[in-house]
Amino acid sequence: MEGLDDYTSACEFYSKGLSLHPQSGFTRYFLNNNIGYSLNQLGRFADAEPYCRAAIEVEERCHNAYKNLGVSLTGQKRYAEASVCFVQAIRAGPRDRRALLCLERLVTEVPEILSLVPGLEKDLDDCRVLDQGSSPSKN
């Protein structure tokens, strides 16, 4: 359903998967992360946040949940927290440039974030260096 841009149905199916209490950490990560992603696509940013956080709790090394949490927090106008999540996503998955694009858009749209988050300008520069040779990937 997600592939068909039917994010409401995707949320329903991913939720059904979670209701089965999967034992696999990867499956729990995947379901929580993809519910968060789908809710973000629906503009339901506050609803997405706990799923993104649950995905991170299951697997803190996977970058997508940090990126999706950053999108959720941006949608909630919690820009400083979002910027930190985007930096974490870039560091965890430097080959996937979507988090860098989100961070650059955030800095462009909310330039005062650079003065609100200590070290963000340096983090952004460091992340641009990490981005060398990256390519986009799915959610």
Look at residue 78 and tell me if it is in a domain: yes
Q: Quick one: pLDDT at residue 61?
A: 86
Domain that holds residue 99: 2-130
Residues of the chain with pLDDT under 70: 131-139
Calpha distance 55→118 (Å, rounded): 27
Contact, 100 vs 86, CB < 8 A? yes
What is the CATH number for 22? 1.25.40.10
Contacts of 133 (CB under 8 A, 6+ apart): 95
Look at residue 139 and tell me if it is in a domain: no
Domain count of the chain?
A: 1
Look at residue 105 and tell me if it is in a domain: yes
Q: Quick one: pLDDT at residue 128?
A: 86
Percent pLDDT > 90 in the chain is 79
Look at residue 137 and tell me if it is in a domain: no
Look at residue 136 and tell me if it is in a domain: no
Calpha distance 54→30 (Å, rounded): 10
3-state SS track over 9-57: HHHHHHHHHHHCCCCCHHHHHHHHHHHHHHHHHCCCHHHHHHHHHHHHH
Look at residue 6 and tell me if it is in a domain: yes
pTM of the full predicted structure?
0.90
Residue by residue, DSSP assigns 59-72 as: -TT-HHHHHHHHHH
Look at residue 28 and tell me if it is in a domain: yes
Look at residue 138 and tell me if it is in a domain: no
Q: Quick one: pLDDT at residue 53?
A: 98
How does pLDDT run across 73-88, given as a tens digit for each residue? 999 999 999 999 999 9
